C-alpha cells in the first residue's frame, strides 16, 4: 500500500525539479508565465527554494580535495530526474544549468589530478595538478586563480568573464585560454578567440597563439604561446631539444612516484618528443630506453642511472 502523502510530496519535488531546470535553461522566457502561476502557491515556492538550495547555486562549500555541494539525499534524485525529463542532463551526469543562476565557491586539485569543473553559465575550467581557484558567477562571471594552472573555455554570454591572478586580470568572451600562477609569476596563453590582459595600468590584447608573462616585480612581457603545453589537460607535453631534467621536473609535478636522475651528467641530455608526463610509471621506462639507462625503484622513487 502506498502512502498518498508521500506520493504527493514526491510529485511536488519532481515538479519543483522540472521548474528549477527549466528556469535556468535556454528557454526560460518561454516558461516564465506558467512558472509564475505555479510559483504563486506557498508550498510550490518552498519546494522550488529547496531545489535551488540542494544544488548549491551560491552555496558551494570548500573541501581540501575539491568542492562539495550541499547534501542532496533523496530530493537530489528528483532534481536529476527532472533534469533528465527536460533533456538538460548531459553526458557524464553533469547538470546543464546554462542560465543565470548564482554560483560561488572554491575548487582545488590534489597532486596528480586534472579535473574539469562546469560553471552555471556553461563555461568550463580545467584545473591542472595542485591548482586552486575561487569563482563567483552572478552579474559578472569572475574567477580568481589562487595557485596553479587552469584552462578556461568560456561560454557565450553578455556578462564579462574575468580571471584574476595576482595583480593581473584577464577579460574574455567566448574564448579558450590558459592562465598559470606559480612562484610569484603569471602567464597567459590564448588558444582561441581574443582576450585582454591588464596589469599595473598596462592593457595588452592577445590573438590566438600569443601569450603574456609577468615575473615577480616585473611588467608584462609578450611572447609566443608555448606549443608544448597545448595538450596539458590530457597530461601530455611536447618537448623539442629540452634538457632531460626539464622533462623529469614536469613529470614530478604529478607523482605519486618521484623520478630522480642518478648523476648530474644526465640532466643535460637532450629530449624531443611527445610524452604523457602525468604518468611517471610509463614515462620512466620510455626515457630509460631512449638513453640506455637502467631503472631503480624504491619507496616511491624511480631512479634513472647509467647502465
pLDDT at position 299: 87
Cα distances (Å, whole numbers) of residue 177 to 19, 110, 160, 255, 265: 34, 22, 15, 26, 37
What is residue 286's three-state secondary structure?
helix
Structural domains of the chain, ranges and CATH numbers in brackets: 1-88 (no CATH), 100-225 (2.60.120.1440), 235-306 (3.55.50.30)
pLDDT at position 290: 94
> Mean pLDDT in the chain?
79
What is residue 144's three-state secondary structure?
strand
Cβ(107)–Cβ(67) below 8 Å: yes
Cβ(81)–Cβ(75) below 8 Å: no
| CB contact burial 61-74 (16+ within 10 A = b; e otherwise) | eeeeebbeeeeeee
pTM: 0.66
Tell how far CA 294 is from the center of its chain: 37
Cα distances (Å, whole numbers) of residue 235 to 115, 129, 231, 274, 276: 11, 10, 7, 11, 6
Q: Closest by alpha carbon to 147, among 127, 133, 126?
A: 133
pLDDT at position 85: 47
Tens digit of each residue's pLDDT (9 = 90 or more) over 18-50: 777 677 666 667 777 888 788 888 888 777 777
DSSP 238: E
Cβ(253)–Cβ(229) below 8 Å: no
d(CA 161, CA 218): 25
Tens digit of each residue's pLDDT (9 = 90 or more) over 172-207: 977 999 999 988 789 999 999 999 998 878 888 999
Question: Which is higher by pLDDT, 9 or 291?
Answer: 291
Return the C-alpha cell found at 84: 533528465
* SS3 labels along 14-80: HHHHHHHHHCCCCCHHHHHHHHHHHHCCHHHHHHHHHHHHHCCCCCCEEECCEEECCCCHHHHHHHH
pLDDT at position 9: 73
pLDDT at position 24: 64
DSSP 154: P
Tens digit of each residue's pLDDT (9 = 90 or more) over 58-97: 333 333 333 333 333 344 444 445 555 444 444 333 343 3
Cβ(184)–Cβ(216) below 8 Å: yes
pLDDT at position 25: 62
Tens digit of each residue's pLDDT (9 = 90 or more) over 92-140: 333 433 344 567 788 899 999 999 988 888 899 999 999 999 988 888 8
Cβ(212)–Cβ(188) below 8 Å: yes
Return the C-alpha cell found at 150: 587552469
Amino acid at each position: 500500500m502506498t502512502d498518498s502523502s508521500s506520493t504527493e510530496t514526491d510529485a511536488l519535488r519532481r515538479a519543483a525539479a522540472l521548474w528549477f531546470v527549466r528556469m535556468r535553461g535556454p528557454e526560460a522566457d518561454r516558461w516564465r508565465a506558467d512558472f509564475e502561476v505555479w510559483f504563486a502557491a506557498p508550498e510550490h515556492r518552498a519546494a522550488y527554494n529547496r531545489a535551488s538550495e540542494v544544488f548549491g547555486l551560491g552555496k558551494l562549500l570548500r573541501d581540501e580535495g575539491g568542492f562539495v555541494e550541499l547534501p542532496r539525499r533523496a530530493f537530489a534524485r528528483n532534481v536529476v530526474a527532472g533534469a533528465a525529463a527536460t533533456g538538460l542532463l548531459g553526458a557524464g551526469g553533469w547538470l546543464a544549468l546554462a542560465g543565470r543562476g548564482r554560483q560561488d565557491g572554491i575548487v582545488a586539485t590534489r597532486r596528480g589530478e586534472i579535473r574539469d569543473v562546469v560553471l552555471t553559465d556553461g563555461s568550463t575550467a580545467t584545473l591542472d595538478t595542485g591548482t586552486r581557484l575561487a569563482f563567483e558567477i552572478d552579474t559578472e562571471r569572475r574567477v580568481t586563480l589562487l595557485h596553479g594552472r587552469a584552462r578556461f573555455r568560456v561560454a557565450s554570454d553578455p556578462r564579462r568573464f574575468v580571471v584574476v591572478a595576482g595583480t593581473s586580470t584577464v577579460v574574455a568572451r567566448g574564448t579558450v585560454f590558459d592562465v598559470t600562477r606559480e612562484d610569484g609569476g603569471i602567464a597567459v596563453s590564448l588558444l582561441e578567440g581574443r582576450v585582454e590582459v591588464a596589469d599595473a595600468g598596462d592593457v595588452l590584447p592577445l590573438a590566438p597563439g600569443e601569450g603574456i608573462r609577468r615575473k615577480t616585480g616585473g611588467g608584462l612581457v609578450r611572447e609566443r604561446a608555448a606549443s608544448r603545453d597545448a595538450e596539458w589537460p590530457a597530461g601530455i607535453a611536447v618537448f623539442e631539444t629540452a634538457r632531460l631534467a626539464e622533462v623529469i621536473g614536469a613529470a614530478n609535478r604529478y607523482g605519486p612516484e618521484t623520478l630522480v636522475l642518478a648523476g648530474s651528467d644526465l640532466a643535460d641530455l637532450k629530449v624531443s618528443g611527445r610524452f604523457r608526463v602525468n604518468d611517471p610509471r610509463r614515462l620512466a621506462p620510455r626515457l630509460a630506453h631512449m638513453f640506455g639507462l637502467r631503472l631503480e625503484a624504491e619507496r616511491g622513487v624511480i631512479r634513472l642511472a647509467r647502465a
